[in-house]
Amino acid sequence: MATGFYWDERCFWHAGGNYALTLPLGGLVQPLAAGGLPEGPEAKRRLKSLIEVTGLWATLDTRGAAPADREALERVHPAAYLDAFKAMSDAGGGELGLRTPFGPGGYEIAALSAGLATAALEAVLRGELTNAYALSRPPGHHCLPDWPNGFCLLANIAVAVEAALAHGLARRIAVIDWDVHHGNGTEAIFYDRDDVLTVSLHQERNYPLDTGAAADRGRGAGLGANLNVPLPPGTGHAGYLAAFDRLVAPQVRAFGPDAIVVASGYDACLFDPLGRMLATAETFGALTRRTRVLAEDLCAGRLVLVHEGGYSEAYSPFCGHAAVQALANSAIAAPDPLAETAARRQPGAAFDAFVDSRLDQVARDAGL
Ligand SMILES: [Zn+2]
């Protein structure tokens, strides 16, 4: 068995603009790369390119997927939202939430993005693949059932998790989100549930401004099945690994999942325009290795990484490659061209100790 890699060229065509030069978008007209929002296709397309060039691609089981169908989407999103999204998409695109513009065919591309995550999780749970990566775009972790925000139009991971549960492929699933932003959508969707653990590592007071507190542990039956680990700006490699080892891994172990899904954004990297963290490509490799080992210990290795943010077009692909390499347990690396710079920019022992003290506070606030 191999590591699966799910992707579709059309996910790179999601665009908020309505034209490529003067050609109306739709059908076979590919949008131009230059766009207004940072959530452009290049960081993601360049990850796929890098994986091809290093040769890692040839070792992966590369696959496409069908779009998530209406039944799958309705497990998370109200019919009225899907109808409005589809109608606006058919009419040429628009905006239904906050910073989520889409062009003609945006609905179909978003459904495809959710479909990649859904197919990846299903194949891993059916034992067809060791584990898998879904290069989903648009991203999903901010999307609420009826309100798209933060570049996210459909809740990709939630759709995948609900499909797996509905099909009886798993009973308990843990979601770990290391995108620099709080996974507010995933959290909200499963906030009352005890069958899905949601854990988010994120930069405090980034996006969204009003969610992601350590005291938010879930509600009702879901109390204790949500954990937020807000981290101070400047947290680097050592701080991320400490947060994972001290807070994330024990929660996931205690939960005892049948599978682990990761919301894998790379916007905590030190060159990202939307984050103020100092993670490096090696950080994402190390986080993925730890999660792979955790999955091997807890759930026969059943692990799926779903791509979320990451807006440094130049550096994010190296972060993603390190993650995919670690997922595949491969020796094929894409050496970080800025490894020395990245290492020298780490915050240092004094700040790492400060992060440790903040993790103590998170544990207290979370009642751990
Ligand atoms: Zn993000």
Reference 329, options 283, 293, 279; nearest CA is 293
As residues whose CB is below 5 A from the ion ligand 1, the structure lists 179, 181, 265, 267, 309
Spacing, Cα 168 to ligand 1 middle (Å)? 31
Q: Is the pLDDT of residue 19 over 90?
A: no
Q: Which residues of 211-237 are buried (b: 16+ CB within 10 A; e: fewer)?
A: bbebebbbeeebebbbbbbbbbebbbb
The answer to whether residue 18 scores a pLDDT higher than 90 is no
pLDDT in tens, 156-187: 999 999 999 999 999 999 999 999 999 999 99
For residue 321, what pLDDT band results from cuts at 50, 70 and 90?
Answer: very high
Distance from Cα 202 to the centre of ligand 1, integer Å: 9
Q: What is the spatial distance between Cα 82 and Cα 146, in angstroms, rounded to a whole number?
A: 8
Reply yes or no on whether the pLDDT at 349 is more than 90: yes
| Helix-helix angle 106-125:156-166, to 10 degrees | 50
pLDDT tens per residue across span 61-102: 999 999 999 999 999 999 999 999 999 999 999 999 988 999
pLDDT score recorded for residue 40: 87
Residue 180 CA to ligand 1 centre (angstroms): 5
C-alpha–C-alpha distance, residues 67 and 60, integer Å:
21
Which amino acid is located at 346 in the chain?
Q
- Bridge partners (DSSP) listed for residue 3: 131
Q: How far is the CA of 199 from the centre of ligand 1 (A)?
A: 15
Regarding pTM above 0.95, the answer is: yes
The mean pLDDT value for 121-133 works out to 98
CA of 274 to the centre of ligand 1 (A): 7
Model pLDDT, residue 31 = 81
> Of the residues 142, 181, 237, 321, which is catalytic?
142
Active site residue 142: yes
Q: What is the DSSP letter of 338?
A: T
- For residue 122, name the pLDDT band (cuts at 50, 70, 90): very high
3-365: CATH topology is Arginase; Chain A (3.40.800)
pLDDT tens sequence across 218-230: 999 999 999 999 9
